[in-house]
Amino acid sequence: MRSAILFAVVLMMGRHVVRAQGTILEDTPAESTGADSGVSGAPSIAPKATQPVEYVPLTASERLRLYLKRTYGPLSIVQSAAGAGISQWRGAPKEWKQGAEAYGDRFGNSYARHMIRGTLEYGASAMLHEDNRYVRSLDTGFLKRTRHAIASTFVARNDAGHEHFAYSRFGSALGAAFISRIWQPPSRSGAGDGLYSFGITMANGMGWDILREFWPDVRRGFKKTIFPLFTSRATD
């Protein structure tokens, strides 16, 4: 029952957003490739080490596209399913027990929290003119690039391209963590549980930014080393 209610809320809000903004989506150009689109997992830019990419601020239509892709795209389903699986394995919260229905409750909880956070971040970033897209480091070296990825979780840019604290990202994660306490069972409904959920959300954000930083390198390495092995064997 809990999962059915959560799914209904998510679907109704998703349809409302898409229907209300449908004409904008039809008339806008393709998504900007000047920077990574963030939570959605879109391809990251790979700037030259000595030639930074000139910053181009988000337009309203681009911001909407990113919101819809991050919040309702396939990757959001995968992330929510994975998070629900981990919670199922840990048996948390304990009141939801085990089984298919329990997994549905945990998936609905994870996706509803994700949807709330995405919607809050979309509204706040538009109001504050913040750009939360990820931009890969221009430095070389694993430690420097890792530090850049971790720090990027807390950094946004304004319309002029200047970096500052990511108020919309931080605030939306905090807001979603506490709003989601509404439907949590007693063992997970306290303020401390909200702070714990917020911490996990920010830690997940760091992990995804690290992945965005290094994944293009891993992919290129795979194409250069592993893929030729399979193709050569196939032709033998």
pLDDT along the chain (236 residues), means of 10: 44 41 33 39 41 80 95 92 92 91 93 96 96 92 95 94 95 96 92 94 93 91 70 54
Coarse DSSP helix, strand, coil percentages of the chain, rounded to the nearest 5 percent:
70, 5, 25
Q: Which amino acid appears at position 166 of this protein?
A: A
Predicted confidence at residue 234, as pLDDT, reads: 52
**Angstrom distance (rounded) from CA 197 to CA 184:** 12
Give 152's contacts (C-beta < 8 A, 6+ positions apart). Answer: 134, 135, 209
Please say whether the beta carbons of 126 and 21 come within 8 A. no
Please say whether the beta carbons of 100 and 94 come within 8 A. no
Predicted confidence at residue 221, as pLDDT, reads: 82
Q: How far is CA 216 from the centre of its chain?
A: 18
Predicted confidence at residue 227, as pLDDT, reads: 58
Please say whether the beta carbons of 125 and 37 come within 8 A. no
Angle at 35 between CA 30 and CA 39, to 5 degrees: 90
Predicted confidence at residue 222, as pLDDT, reads: 80
Residues 186-203: tens digit of each pLDDT = 999 999 999 999 999 999
Cα torsion through 191, 5, 101, 39, rounded to 10: -60
